[in-house]
Structure 1
Amino acid sequence: MRFFNTEGPNRADDHYSLPPLSRWDLDAILTLIEQKKYFLLHAPRQTGKTTCLLALMDYLNREGRYRAVYANLEGAQAYRENVDAAMAVIVTDIAASARVWLGDTDAPVLAREVLATTPHGSALSLFLAHWCQRIPQPMVLLLDEVDALVGDTLISLLRQLRAGYPQRPDAFPQALILCGVRDLRDYRIHASSEQAPITGGSAFNIKAKSLRLGDFDAEEVATLLHEHTAETGQAFTPEALARVWELTQGQPWLVNALAYEACFEQPEGRDRAQPIGVDLIDRAKETLILNRVTHLDQLTHKLREPRVRRIIEPMLGGTALGEAFEEDREYLVDLGLLRRDGAGGLVIANPIYREVLPRALASGPQDSLPQISPTWLNPDGSLNPDRLLDAFLAFWRQHGEPLLASAPYHEIAPHLVLMAFLHRVINGGGRLERAYAIGRGRMDLCLRDGAVTLGLALKVWRDGRPDPLTEGLTQLDAYLAGLGLDRGWLVIFDRRARQPPIEARTSSHETLSPAGRCIQVVRA
């Protein structure tokens, strides 16, 4: 029985699959190959790049006009900038791939001969030249994980490919695809130990085009999920199909992971007589986030990088990006962490990522929280919003100051500590939803626990700015209207210099919003 794939390339006999070549403009790819072009394919991790490359290799070899070989260069990454060792691995791996995919037993012999007699800094170009002269058809070479290489090793690879370029197709590959996560824009190459570029595009100025493999669209998501229905008879409700699309925005790994968790891991989902509903999809989403599955863990690991922080921190705080470099912005788009919305602005790529990022950042404060008695509960165990407010004020006065230091992003430390507190409150029994974006001037939170829904707007009062109360009440009105609520909290964090200690300035009072809603204003 087939299943949803979350590890490695798809195999049609094992995995529910979309036709890989349908995700490309195949005619455009074939035209580039016929025109003897060298080009790039890039997309975020686990979006199907390798699956598409393998499918293209199979297609070309079946057609018979070209001899196509796929090779993964990741094995050379361990040698970093040891060019001789790395190039030996690259030559050996390409030759081994020829044996595996084409049954070419001459390629490994040729590789050993070249490596034994040629300086490794030119071994790749010489190996490819000799090999292409020995085979009857023009070669198409598909090199994966190229951006795993760094510094001098990457420079050596690119310059050898450029050096052999004029010899194509008789004594060098007719066409070449370099594949990786990033569109390196003619490969601005960085040494492993420093951030400054050590070369610009001159190492590979023969690039004809850069192609990006996109996410699934809504129709493709539904088609993939219907593969499971066709095989097992278990349907997804229309609402569940819509929810998968809403949560993932078509990110291929997330689509497969949500569906696998719902259909193969959740006990209710394993009952093929029961349809997959929205509640099951939501439980699957929570499980993926709480288990910190590898894909999401790798994503949150990026939050430590300064160039990621320069973008994500103001996004979470709702402020403008300021002087964030274009390279930083494009880096996050290439990673798949951000996308451009219809108006061209930057937003988090999908609701799951939007949930994961602040959760990950709040995990430090959450782990630092002291034991807190759940005084916010009614005798029946339900959440009491008034008691919750009293508990938060007491918590903030006593623990706010030291906990701010545990937050990894200083500018939004109060937001992260508050979120950590609220996660302790719901403790797996409710949900905390977040809304934030560049230039909104706030972060909105929605706490759902049983019959209680609480809407909050978080704002910061900084030096040189007016009191954000009036603006915040208007903004909270709009947020609460969308939630269908007539009450909420406006939390104003006073981050101005020379203010009294937190325990002295923390207070709350009730007021009416412009639309007449009852608002608890918390000054912290």
Structure 2
Amino acid sequence: MREFNVEGPCDPERHFTVMREALVRKGIEKIEKGKYFTIFAPRQAGKTTYFQLMIHQLEKTAYLPIWISFEDFANATVEKFYATLEHELKMRTARHSMTLSAHISDNLSLRRFFDEIKQQGKTLVLVIDEFEGVPFAALSELMHTFRKMYHEKMLHGLHSLILVGVRNISGAVLDKASPFNIADEIEVPYFSKAEVENLIAQYEQESGQIFQKKVIAKIYENTLGQPGLVNAVCRELVEKICTNRSKPVDMTSFRRVLVYFLTERIDRNISNIVSKAREHRDFMLKVLFGESEIPFQIYDERIKFLQSHGVIAKDQSGAVDVPIPLYKNALISAFRPLINGETVHYTSPTERFEEFYKENGLNIDKIIRHYIQYVQRRGFRAFDTENLKESACHYSFDAYINFFIERLGGKTYMEVPTSRGRLDTLIVYQDQTYVIEIKRWSDAIYYQKGKRQLAAYAKSEGLAEGFYVVFSSQHQESDTLFEQEEIDGVKIHTYVVRTNFERPSELSR
């Protein structure tokens, strides 16, 4: 049986594979027209699988498709770069029974290499993966050479050139001449919901094991179809958690996998995202927790860097956002501060925990009100460090609710919907589920919109009520801080937690 692949490109004979026929046709059409173009997407987005599927189709035609990688070239000298490029090209053309004598020592002799290919009657399609790895000292002259060759295609054998990387190379201005402005482009998108369903259906057909429909929907919702994440989550589910093929892959198992990815597993994809985000930590805290939107402006170097590596994107309103919920969840976890004993202040020695239960479940209203009392006593001092001001209230509530629910015998799961600024906490106690949405006050419009979003989410989960916790530095004690209303058949409890109250001059330690 095939398997979900998380190591390198997919081989359809060994791995469950989304074949992306329409995207492959789009690439082949460009090749047939002799285009020089770029393929770009963040890491583990399926670029290599995509162009290999394209190469497989080209091998059935008169074209000679070969691909090389510049992954290990970045620190090479210019001389070493061209020598290695010659070796790579000759090694791969030799597999097609070609013997080439041209020596490559610089950009000019590279041109002669492709002249010799034409003399042997071949029409070459060259794919260069990890193009960002070309040494900077050779980059400009190499791009100039390719641009000149594009305009003189009748004189040499390089019919089509495809540069693959995490950035759109055709948009890069390398000098005043913009040497690669002749290139077209293909951005490799993440899987659509239908493609995620297709991938899992391949597994179901071969294994006989079914994924519950809600699990499939949650896999797409949490990964947004990011190919590396989809395969990693599915593989963990079927190989580690749901190994009994006679039983379906259910939501309990899915939640276990999410917790595992966020607390134990070192996933290369997620680790790379966290690493890139740490390079602009202060900016990312504002993206994750800030009260105001940050306009998406590609000429901001922070935004350009983070977007090119798949950390952020532009949302529907034109603001910066972390679009993939699993990434956002991981970043929130990665930036979470140590609280150094603050849990001793959550309760008192005389606390009676019975009041936090009610018939057949938990009294979430009392638990939230208890948290507000704690904040009024302690403030956010345990979290309000110099580097975490934007996120102090979120981390405060998250730490409190995790501690409290665990003591009461329940489990908490943080979900990060795709809407900017939302954090949802799911609480599971016995057979009951509760949802708390956490948000910072921005303005009255977003405040009301948040209620409707929560009602829609609760309804989709089959819940009769939802709890809405809003942190505000603008509300006063005389303002309405608690509301209860019904929206689309769902009871919404709203709590405004003031963050601008007078703090005691001396807090108990």
Do the two structures share a fold, i.e. TM-score over 0.5? Answer: yes
Match of 1:499 in 2: none
Q: Secondary structure at the match of 2:343?
A: coil
Deviation at 1:210, TM superposition (A): 0.9
Q: Does residue 433 of structure 1 match 2:415?
A: yes
Q: Does residue 68 of structure 1 match 2:65?
A: yes
- Pair 480,220 (structure 1): closer, same or farther in 2 beyond 3 Å: closer
- Residue type at the aligned position of 1:98: T
- Pair 297,384 (structure 1): closer, same or farther in 2 beyond 3 Å: farther
Q: Does residue 174 of structure 1 match 2:151?
A: no
Instruction: Give the Cα–Cα distance (whole angstroms) in 2 for the partners of residues 85 and 270 of structure 1.
Output: 50
- Residue type at the aligned position of 1:34: E
Deviation at 1:481, TM superposition (A): 3.7
Q: Among the aligned pairs, what percent are the same residue?
A: 21
Q: Does residue 370 of structure 1 match 2:341?
A: yes
Instruction: Give the Cα–Cα distance (whole angstroms) in 1 for the partners of residues 326 and 237 of structure 2.
Output: 15
Counterparts of 1:103-182 in structure 2, within 5 Å, are: 104=98, 106-107=99-100, 110=101, 114-115=103-104, 118=105, 120=106, 122-130=108-116, 132-149=117-134, 151-182=136-167
Q: Secondary structure at the match of 1:46?
A: coil
Instruction: Give the Cα–Cα distance (whole angstroms) in 2 for the partners of residues 57 and 493 of structure 1.
Output: 55
Contact 2:170 2:182 (8 Å CA) reproduced: no
- Residue type at the aligned position of 2:208: G
- Residue type at the aligned position of 1:70: W
Match of 1:502 in 2: none
Contact 1:91 1:123 (8 Å CA) reproduced: no
Instruction: Give the Cα–Cα distance (whole angstroms) in 2 for the partners of residues 452 and 235 of structure 1.
Output: 24
Counterparts of 1:417-496 in structure 2, within 5 Å, are: 417-425=396-404, 429-435=411-417, 437=419, 443-450=422-429, 451=432, 453=434, 455-459=436-440, 474=448, 477-478=451-452, 481-482=455-456, 483=458, 488=467, 490-492=469-471, 494=473
Match of 1:353 in 2: 327
Deviation at 1:127, TM superposition (A): 3.4
- Pair 156,327 (structure 1): closer, same or farther in 2 beyond 3 Å: farther
Deviation at 1:166, TM superposition (A): 4.1
Q: Secondary structure at the match of 1:430?
A: strand
Contact 2:322 2:328 (8 Å CA) reproduced: yes
- Pair 377,271 (structure 1): closer, same or farther in 2 beyond 3 Å: farther
Deviation at 1:270, TM superposition (A): 1.0
Match of 1:47 in 2: 45
Deviation at 1:179, TM superposition (A): 0.9
- Pair 410,95 (structure 1): closer, same or farther in 2 beyond 3 Å: farther
- Pair 14,78 (structure 1): closer, same or farther in 2 beyond 3 Å: farther
Deviation at 1:145, TM superposition (A): 0.8
Deviation at 1:254, TM superposition (A): 1.9
Deviation at 1:16, TM superposition (A): 1.0
Match of 1:211 in 2: 186
Q: Secondary structure at the match of 1:223?
A: helix
Normalising by structure 1, we get a TM-score of 0.76
Contact 1:508 1:522 (8 Å CA) reproduced: no
Instruction: Give the Cα–Cα distance (whole angstroms) in 1 for the partners of residues 258 and 83 of structure 2.
Output: 44
Deviation at 1:370, TM superposition (A): 2.5
Deviation at 1:180, TM superposition (A): 0.9
Instruction: Give the Cα–Cα distance (whole angstroms) in 1 for the partners of residues 22 and 66 of structure 2.
Output: 20
Which structure's residues are more often helix, by fraction?
Answer: 1
With 223-232 and 409-418 compared, the bigger mean Cα shift is at: 409-418
Give CA deviations for 1:61-103 in whole Å, capped at 9, x if unaligned.
222x111111111110243xx433333333333333334x535
Deviation at 1:169, TM superposition (A): 4.6
- Pair 103,411 (structure 1): closer, same or farther in 2 beyond 3 Å: farther
**Structure 2 residue ranges without an equivalent (≥5):** 500-509
Give CA deviations for 1:200-232 in whole Å, capped at 9, x if unaligned.
56221221x111122222222222111112212
Contact 1:216 1:252 (8 Å CA) reproduced: yes
Deviation at 1:47, TM superposition (A): 2.0
- Residue type at the aligned position of 2:3: F
Instruction: Give the Cα–Cα distance (whole angstroms) in 1 for the partners of residues 138 and 464 of structure 2.
Output: 59
Counterparts of 1:179-328 in structure 2, within 5 Å, are: 179-189=164-174, 199=175, 202-207=178-183, 209-266=184-241, 269-290=242-263, 291-306=265-280, 310=283, 313-314=286-287, 316-322=289-295, 324-326=297-299
- Pair 35,324 (structure 1): closer, same or farther in 2 beyond 3 Å: closer
Instruction: Give the Cα–Cα distance (whole angstroms) in 2 for the partners of residues 23 and 288 of structure 1.
Output: 32
Match of 1:83 in 2: 78
- Residue type at the aligned position of 1:265: K
Match of 2:503 in 1: none
- Pair 430,487 (structure 1): closer, same or farther in 2 beyond 3 Å: closer
- Pair 264,72 (structure 1): closer, same or farther in 2 beyond 3 Å: same
- Pair 142,281 (structure 1): closer, same or farther in 2 beyond 3 Å: same
Give CA deviations for 1:167-200 in whole Å, capped at 9, x if unaligned.
43542411101111111343234xxxxxxxxx25
- Pair 460,164 (structure 1): closer, same or farther in 2 beyond 3 Å: same
Deviation at 1:142, TM superposition (A): 0.7
Instruction: Give the Cα–Cα distance (whole angstroms) in 2 for the partners of residues 227 and 472 of structure 1.
Output: 41
Match of 2:3 in 1: 3
Q: Secondary structure at the match of 2:164?
A: strand
**Structure 1 residue ranges without an equivalent (≥5):** 190-198, 462-467, 497-504
With 176-185 and 506-515 compared, the bigger mean Cα shift is at: 506-515
Equivalent of 2:384 in 404, 429, 433: 404
Deviation at 1:5, TM superposition (A): 0.5
Deviation at 1:260, TM superposition (A): 0.8
Instruction: Give the Cα–Cα distance (whole angstroms) in 1 for the partners of residues 133 and 304 of structure 2.
Output: 18
Contact 2:37 2:161 (8 Å CA) reproduced: yes
Instruction: Give the Cα–Cα distance (whole angstroms) in 2 for the partners of residues 134 and 388 of structure 1.
Output: 78
Question: RMSD value over aligned CA atoms?
Answer: 3.9
Counterparts of 1:327-346 in structure 2, within 5 Å, are: 332-339=306-313
Contact 1:457 1:472 (8 Å CA) reproduced: no
Deviation at 1:40, TM superposition (A): 1.0
Contact 2:325 2:418 (8 Å CA) reproduced: no
Instruction: Give the Cα–Cα distance (whole angstroms) in 2 for the partners of residues 361 and 89 of structure 1.
Output: 42
- Residue type at the aligned position of 1:161: F
- Pair 377,134 (structure 1): closer, same or farther in 2 beyond 3 Å: farther
Contact 2:74 2:134 (8 Å CA) reproduced: yes
Give CA deviations for 1:281-317 in whole Å, capped at 9, x if unaligned.
33323322322411111112221244x8647724532
Contact 1:317 1:443 (8 Å CA) reproduced: no
